[in-house]
Amino acid sequence: MDERDLIKQLQEHKGLMMTERSSFEAHWREISKFISTRTSRYQKEDRNKGGSMNNAIINETAVLAHRTLESGMMAGMSSPARPWFSLGPQDPGMKTFGPVKDWLDVVTKVMLQAMGRSNLYTVLPKQWGGIGAYGTAAFGLVDDEKEIFRAYPFPIGSFCIDTNDRMQVDGCHREFSMTVRQLISRFGKKDANGNLRWDNFSTAVKNAYDKGSWGQWFGVNHAIEINPDYNPESLHSKDKKYRSVYYEDGPDNHKPLSVMGYSDFPVITSRWHVNGEDVYGTRSPAMDALGSVKMIQLEERRKYQIIDKVWNPAMNADASMRNSGADTLPGAMNYVQGMAMNGNTGMTPAYTPDYNSIAIIQNDIKDVEARIRSTFFADLMLMLATSDNSQMTAREVEERHSEKLLVLGPMLEQQNDDTFDPLIDTIFNKCNDRGLFPPPPEELDGQQLRVEYISTMAQAQKLIGVSAVERFVGFVGNMANIDPQAVDKLNTDETIDEYGIMLGVNGNLVNNDDDVLEIRTQRAQAQQAQAAAQSVPAMAHGAQAAKTLSEIPSGGDTALTRMLAQAQGGVNYEE
């Protein structure tokens, strides 16, 4: 395809995607105005805008609740302070097999270290804040020479997405800006003589460079789509599954800045809730709370108007006092004709304010604030952000937050499908391409790996089921007091394994089946050796007794014959 035709095709597709997105923009703008300021960007010119954007916010409850949600989701789902996922074989029976278990532990640690080296953990909070506010958020994850990979957040309004037949995001167009210096550093190429080539830049960029205006900004488009020329047998970048094209804005964009390919879709898109074939997230805590958030701003304004009227009321005065030089101080002055004729002299308040109205509106504001915090799951998120997982008991979770965790269940499953599965797959492939993993055991040949999520929030949901295990084991123990054979129904090894998984303990703390077999074999051998050692004195005593008996005369009237006769019914062996 001709490069000009390629750009035209991408622009047409982008236009369709922008039309699909347009119905969400009004809602997003209101959320930006009242809850999550400075997180949207609908125009490339919106960059580096430092003016005040919080003028619509008087009551900050929603802002703080959203911030708590963002922090709680980060701590609860993807905390850098603890492992939040583990890898396992597709066959559950192999998860405790020594070589497989050891290799998977090493791979998981390598991936977590790679995440820690990159900027992923600075971008993920923006991702969680994005879906908490707008229902949709995205960031790019691309190769990096220094950090293996690097993440680039996409502000809401700067990108549009598309989905495949499985309702998974596999297309993204975004708009952003780059300075001349950044463009040259990222996309500049040199000829054989070391001179900069300008064939992929617009004339405007070249002129700005020649004039030394290296800080001048230019609009850039980035399109990532399924590659129609995908060739799985080819190793060339242009033949990979996903095509990535950068091109400049404006009429002078005849050639793309860059055309390359990706094996994995490099955009991680998260959605709070998706309804049917909708492309964008259709719900979020901020969307649900927006009505209350707008109402509480109005109530705050009304409250301060009442306070102002109480402390600085409008006044009535007789018209004759207009030129009397009366000291009115702050507040309005209404001159009433004939006021003095009615027996009123001087000035009086224009109305008598209702002092109870302040208390009434304050109580209502507290109720609205509580609804907003509840909509953002503030108390649950504070627990996840501040509680050590080892101190969070199953009973605490079950009694205090089980209902809210159940409400969050669909969102967590959505993140597994939208965010975590593609994120871990992509990072695994990038680390593997760098040769960071040891050779896998032959038992894993041809097998797919399975991801187990062990974050604090995932474990909190599983802790609800832990109490059932504890009750079952306690029941078996009570039954064993009645019938000791009841314990035969309890598979203790499997119970320990599953309990450890539910609690999210480190896999190295639980011995695999091979180690357990070896331990039990050694214990049985030790017990046999101990029993044999204890039997040696008895055998020696028996041998000595046999020797003594052999030396006693068997005939005649002896103590032995009398004892034997007595034992056999009084038979007399005397000759």
Number of domains in the chain: 2
Q: How confident is the model at residue 543 (pLDDT cuts 50, 70, 90)?
A: low
Mean pLDDT of 180-184: 95
Between CA 157 and CA 45 the distance in angstroms is 12
Token digits of residue 506: 């480190």
| pLDDT at residue 573, rounded to an integer | 44
Q: Look at residue 489 and tell me if it is in a domain.
A: no
Q: Look at residue 474 and tell me if it is in a domain.
A: no
Pick from 305-309, 455-459, 560-564: least confident: 560-564
| pLDDT at residue 32, rounded to an integer | 94
Q: Look at residue 424 and tell me if it is in a domain.
A: no
Q: How confident is the model at residue 281 (pLDDT cuts 50, 70, 90)?
A: very high
Domain range for 563 is: 515-567
Q: Taking the chain, what is the end-to-end CA distance rounded to the nearest angstrom?
A: 126
The model's pTM is: 0.77
- What separation in angstroms does the CA of 458 have from each of 121, 397, 560? 18, 12, 80
Q: How confident is the model at residue 568 (pLDDT cuts 50, 70, 90)?
A: low
Query: In terms of C-beta density within 10 A (0-12 exposed, 13-18 middle, 19 or more buried), how is residue 182 classed?
Result: middle
Mean pLDDT of 116-138: 97
pLDDT in tens, 70-82: 998 998 899 998 8
Q: Look at residue 438 and tell me if it is in a domain.
A: no
Q: Look at residue 572 and tell me if it is in a domain.
A: no
Q: How confident is the model at residue 30 (pLDDT cuts 50, 70, 90)?
A: very high
Pick from 214-223, 294-303, 312-321, 408-417: least confident: 312-321
Q: Look at residue 9 and tell me if it is in a domain.
A: yes
Centroid of chain to Cα 29: 25
Q: What φ, ψ does residue 81 adopt, rounded to 5°?
A: -85, -10
- What separation in angstroms does the CA of 311 have from each of 314, 336, 361, 363, 563? 10, 22, 17, 20, 120
Say how many C-beta atoms besides its own lie within 10 A of residue 319's C-beta.
13
Pairwise pLDDT comparison (337 vs 428), residue with the higher score = 428
Q: Which of 239, 268, 286 is the last residue of a domain?
A: 286
| pLDDT at residue 318, rounded to an integer | 65
Q: How confident is the model at residue 334 (pLDDT cuts 50, 70, 90)?
A: low
Q: Which of 236, 263, 286 is the last residue of a domain?
A: 286
Helices 120-134, 285-311: axis angle to 10 degrees equals 70
222 in Cβ contact with 142 (< 8 Å): no
Q: Which of 232, 256, 286 is the last residue of a domain?
A: 286
Mean pLDDT of 47-52: 70
Q: Look at residue 68 and tell me if it is in a domain.
A: no
Query: In terms of C-beta density within 10 A (0-12 exposed, 13-18 middle, 19 or more buried), how is residue 454 classed?
Result: buried
Q: Look at residue 563 and tell me if it is in a domain.
A: yes
* Cα angle, residue 160 at apex, residues 156 and 166 outer, rounded to 5°: 120
| pLDDT at residue 346, rounded to an integer | 61
Pick from 87-96, 157-166, 207-216, 237-246: least confident: 87-96
